[in-house]
């Protein structure tokens, strides 16, 4: 199932007869503003395509209990809510005024690591004056919204809201929820983007994740202004037929739901009939080494550890490809920057493999130890001869890396499939020098490791 397959598609999600209302937002209000489609930054304060040839049942396997994966999963998770039909087109008077000659770039998942990285990279672009930027936020009052505000304007007052922060940077803030087609349609119709950056969400329900992706792509396709979609999936999606034990379509592979969902999202993007698309395929996210997300890479430190220990199913010689999740935004910005300069062919209708380094877990432990100023050892689940008495007891009682744990499964996948090719591909595109190295990431996040 090649990721760059050419095919046509039709929009099978119908439009609803009702039109969501716009509200006048009181800038001084402290109430959440998720119900408002947009809060233009020029004022004081904030704010699927279903391919007719393939049903959800055929796109996503439901024969196993799915869990989210460390491979390129977005931290922006919309709440569960009924799927609504997309809203109808908005009248012209509802749309934002702006210079239509500029590229209008809409960033979804803006409070997540990838979306935040995209926003920061666009703000630092030398072509910033050629872009009108909008972001979609689900909850303006969330901790992730506050983190976004502090990320783009470090040292600002804690009381300064995200909306005021972005207003000063002439960024439009729109309310939207992946699970609500009407809110997405409202955001797209009002902002009228020409380019969309979309990091699909990945939860423990792959069918729902695919429906949410359909909601986004359908809203983009129906609004009529979008000419380019930039989406992210995962390194290896287009090479899954090479995975040991994959078979014809991964029917018996333990990670088939994950990889087939990623592939289906790519197919939706490619088949949506936008003028062009670019799909970024990032490697394992370095953010999974931080305390908040450490469960996606290893079990974290134990309180009883005399020496900090990484417990893993990775083998001693397995090289894991890594990348800073925010650097997906660096690639997205390069795409729009180069197209502004007329270099469209480099990124047009292509997949971009993204990895900054491929290292063994032993090398990772050394790097972590250097930053922490103390020894970090590795416990290899497949090397019982290296276990301590306590680790042997943990294994016997099931208090360590389980064979059926989704992270253990993904680590075994990494043992079998060499993803280090992503580094060479990134270097060939001239991107390597612009990305955050493993050492730089660990140093920047030393208090979170």
Binning pLDDT at 50, 70 and 90, where does residue 36 land?
A: very low
Residues 6+ apart with CB under 8 A from 20: 37, 87, 182, 183, 185, 186
Q: What pLDDT is recorded for position 364?
A: 97
As a whole number of Å, the CA-based R_g of the chain is 22
Binning pLDDT at 50, 70 and 90, where does residue 292 land?
A: confident
Q: What pLDDT is recorded for position 2?
A: 29
**CA 131-133-135 angle, 5° bins:** 160
**CA 196-72-143 angle, 5° bins:** 75
Q: What pLDDT is recorded for position 267?
A: 98
Of 45 and 145, the structure prediction assigns the larger pLDDT to 145
Q: How far is CA 161 from the centre of its chain?
A: 24
How confident is the model over 50-79, as pLDDT tens digits?
A: 333 333 333 333 333 333 344 443 333 333
Extended beta strands in 138-207, E state: 171-175, 195-198
DSSP 217: H
pLDDT at 80 over 60: no
Of 429 and 292, the structure prediction assigns the larger pLDDT to 429
Q: Distances from the Cα of 420 to the Cαs of 155, 295, 414, in angstroms?
A: 37, 22, 10
Distance between start and end Cα atoms, the chain = 38
How confident is the model over 390-437, as pLDDT tens digits?
A: 666 665 555 555 667 788 889 999 999 999 999 999 999 999 999 999
- What whole-number percentage of the chain has pLDDT above 70? 69
Q: What pLDDT is recorded for position 15?
A: 28
d(CA 386, CA 378): 9
Which of 43-57, 191-205, 226-240, 306-320 has the lowest average pLDDT? 43-57
Mean per-residue pLDDT, 3-31: 30
Which of 68-82, 106-120, 127-141 has the lowest average pLDDT? 68-82
Q: What pLDDT is recorded for position 384?
A: 77
How confident is the model over 351-399, as pLDDT tens digits?
A: 999 999 999 999 999 999 999 999 999 988 888 776 776 666 665 555 5
pLDDT at 320 over 60: yes
- What whole-number percentage of the chain has pLDDT above 90? 51
Binning pLDDT at 50, 70 and 90, where does residue 92 land?
A: very low
d(CA 420, CA 319): 7
Which of 15-29, 83-97, 214-228 has the lowest average pLDDT? 15-29
Q: What pLDDT is recorded for position 47?
A: 30
Of 356 and 344, the structure prediction assigns the larger pLDDT to 356
Contact 9, 53 (CB under 8 A): yes
Query: Domains in the chain, ordered, with CATH?
Result: 38-51+65-77+101-284+325-354 (3.40.50.720), 294-320+358-420+437-444 (no CATH)
How confident is the model over 162-188, as pLDDT tens digits?
A: 777 777 788 899 989 999 999 999 999
CB atoms within 10 A of CB 12: 14
Of 367 and 95, the structure prediction assigns the larger pLDDT to 367
How confident is the model over 233-281, as pLDDT tens digits?
A: 999 999 999 999 999 889 899 999 999 999 999 999 999 999 999 999 9
Hey, is 382 helix, strand or coil?
coil
Contact 39, 25 (CB under 8 A): yes
Q: What pLDDT is recorded for position 365?
A: 96
**Average pLDDT in the chain:** 77
pTM, full prediction: 0.77
Q: What pLDDT is recorded for position 18?
A: 33
């Amino acid at each position: 199932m090649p990721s760059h397959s050419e095919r046509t598609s039709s929009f099978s999600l119908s439009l609803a007869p009702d039109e969501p209302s716009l509200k006048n937002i009181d800038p001084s209000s402290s109430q959440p503003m998720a119900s408002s489609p947009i809060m233009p930054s020029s004022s004081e304060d904030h704010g699927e395509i279903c391919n007719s040839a393939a049903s959800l049942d055929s796109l996503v396997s439901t024969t196993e209990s799915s869990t989210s994966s460390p491979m390129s999963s977005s931290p922006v998770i919309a709440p569960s809510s009924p799927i609504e039909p997309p809203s109808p087109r908005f009248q012209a008077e509802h749309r934002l005024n702006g210079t239509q000659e500029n590229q209008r770039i809409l960033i979804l998942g803006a409070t997540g690591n990838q979306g935040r990285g995209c926003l920061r990279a666009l703000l630092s672009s030398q072509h910033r004056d050629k872009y009108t930027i909008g972001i979609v936020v689900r909850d303006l009052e969330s901790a992730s919204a506050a983190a976004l505000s502090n990320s783009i304007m470090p040292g600002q007052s804690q009381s300064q809201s995200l909306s005021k922060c972005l207003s000063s940077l002439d960024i439009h803030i729109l309310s939207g929820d992946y699970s609500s087609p009407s809110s997405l349609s409202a955001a797209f119709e009002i902002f009228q983007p020409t380019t969309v950056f979309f990091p699909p969400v990945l939860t423990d329900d792959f069918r729902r994740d695919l429906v949410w992706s359909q909601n986004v792509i359908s809203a983009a396709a129906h609004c009529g202004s979008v000419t380019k979609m930039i989406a992210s999936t995962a390194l290896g999606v287009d090479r899954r037929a090479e995975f040991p034990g994959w078979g014809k379509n991964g029917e018996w592979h333990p990670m088939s739901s994950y990889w087939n969902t990623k592939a289906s999202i790519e197919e939706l993007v490619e088949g949506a009939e936008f003028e062009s698309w670019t799909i970024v395929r990032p490697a394992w996210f370095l953010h999974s080494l931080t305390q908040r997300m450490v469960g996606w890479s290893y079990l974290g430190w134990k309180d009883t550890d005399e020496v900090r220990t990484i417990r893993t199913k990775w083998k001693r010689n397995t090289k894991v490809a890594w990348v800073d999740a925010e650097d997906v935004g660096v690639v997205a910005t390069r795409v729009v920057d180069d197209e502004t300069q007329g270099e469209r062919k480099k990124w047009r209708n292509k997949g971009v493999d993204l990895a900054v380094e491929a290292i063994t877990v032993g090398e990772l432990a050394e790097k972590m130890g250097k930053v922490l100023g103390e020894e970090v050892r590795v416990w290899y689940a497949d090397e019982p001869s290296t276990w301590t008495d306590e680790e042997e007891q943990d294994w016997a009682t099931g208090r360590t890396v389980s064979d059926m744990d989704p992270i253990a499964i993904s680590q075994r996948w990494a043992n079998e499939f060499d993803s280090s090719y992503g580094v060479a591909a990134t270097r060939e595109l001239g991107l390597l020098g612009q990305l955050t190295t493993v050492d730089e990431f660990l140093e920047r996040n030393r208090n979170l490791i």
